[in-house]
Each structure stands twice: as structure tokens, then as C-alpha cells.
Amino acid sequence: MRAMGEFVRVEVSDQIATIRLDRPKMNALNGQLQQELGEAARLVDADAAVQAVIIYGGERVFAAGADIKEMADRSYAYMIEHSKVLADSLTAISRIGKPVIAAISGYALGGGCELALSADFRVAGESARLGQPEIQLGLIPGAGGTQRLTRLIGPAKAKDLIFSGRHVGAAEALALGLIDKVVADDQVYTAALEWAATFVGGPTLAVRAAKQAVDLGAEVNLDTALEIERQLFAGLFATEDAKAGMRAFIDKTRPKFTGD
């Protein structure tokens, strides 16, 4: 499958989908790119042949944030309605029911950092720079930065980055827990592919259920989260994959999962 937008394209190889941002020079997230990003997320989520997803901005930059020139003259009335496009597109990324890896080269700032936060995992090059600099424009992050960042690294560390607007390098981002792996700059996409490949051939319905249990459970109290987990766990007993997995365990063979 190969799907093309003007600024976002989706390419699938070996059951791994790459959502590729391509809006020179810095992949600024203008309105059209935001819409195409949401469409790409929904496309790969619905494709049963896709078992893992990579978000990639290319060798030079991941995404340097929203298009400030586009936003500069916007009114409150306009933004209260249209800011939802970016928020919804990143929510669509976060709700892809498959492992999603952000492959970060260069800058991931503002909306670009929020896009990376929407993934399950983040691998970055040694020269990568991440941050939420909106405060320097008299703004705050508006597409998940105050929420996903806080849930990922904790409120005090998130406030430090958000209140200051400072950029952090890959080493500090790794120490903060903002990213999961640092590699050489020219190995970012390769490392993401290798990571994504570890999910191919797995029980896709169980992976989707596990992602739902973790993500939904994080938003509610423990008793509700445990009930969500229990229901998803029980539901998997209706799948052929669960039968195949348990039978293979008993027979001491390797399971073959079909996604059924």
C-alpha cells in the first residue's frame, strides 16, 4: 500500500507502515499537513496488513512545530474551532491500535514534540533536539503537550520544559524519559525499522487490547482500570490467536498468529 498526500505519505513494506512527513524545509504542521496526518493515522489503523507503524520526518528534521506564519493573525474565534484539527490528528495517531514508533531526526519542537509524544515509543538521533517552546510565543502547548508530556515524565519535569520553553538534547531527553533510545543520526530510521519488526508476526488483537488497557487505564481510577483490563483479557478468549497461542504453549511449538 502506498497512499499519498501533498505533505504526508504512507508506505507499507513487510507489514510495517511508515507515515512520512514531507513539507520542506522543517515539516511545519500547517492545517493541510494536520489533516493529512489524521487521515494517514486512520488509514494504517484500519489496514489489517499493518502490524507496526513508524512516524518519520526524514533525515534532517522530524517536525519543527506548528506553522507560526499561518497562526500569527488568527483570532480566538478561529482558533477555538480550528485548533481541534491538530489535536484530533494527534489523538488519531495515539489511538492507532498497533505499536507506533516516532523516529526523530533533528528538531521535534512544539507540535512536532507533541506528535512524537503521540507515539508509543521514541527513538532519536544523537543530534536531535526536543522541546515545547510555545511559552516563548506567549502561548502554551495546545495539542497534548501539557497532558501527554506530564503523563510521560511527571509534572515537575514537564513544567520545567513547558514553563521555560527550552530545548533538550537527545542525552537529556533520554534521561528525562522523553525518548526511549538514542542512536547515531544516520541510524534513526533503521533503528525504528528494527524495533518495529519485532512486533511483526505477533498476536495483533492482543497487542491492540494491551495498548487499550494501558492507555485507557492511565486515565481512570485503579478499580475502573482493572475492570477495563479484565474485560479486554476475557474478550481475547473469543479469538483464534489466543487458542493458537495457548495450544502452542501446551504442545511446546511456536504459535502462528493470524489476527483472527
Catalytic residue among 41, 66, 192, 242: 66
- Dihedral sign computed on CA atoms, order 78, 21, 163, 179: positive
Q: Is 114 a catalytic residue?
A: yes
E-strand spans in 14-94? 16-21, 52-56
C-alpha cell at 162: 513547558
Q: Which one of 110, 111, 131, 165 is the catalytic residue?
A: 111
**Of 17, 112, 134, 191, catalytic:** 134
Chain length of the chain: 260
Distance CA 110, CA 189 (A): 21
Catalytic residue of the set 36, 58, 106, 114: 114
Q: Is 242 a catalytic residue?
A: no
Q: How far apart are CA 144 and CA 156, in angstroms?
A: 16
- Give every strand in the sheet of 107-109, ordered side by side: 107-109, 129-131, 167-169
Which sequence positions are flagged as catalytic?
A: 66, 111, 114, 134
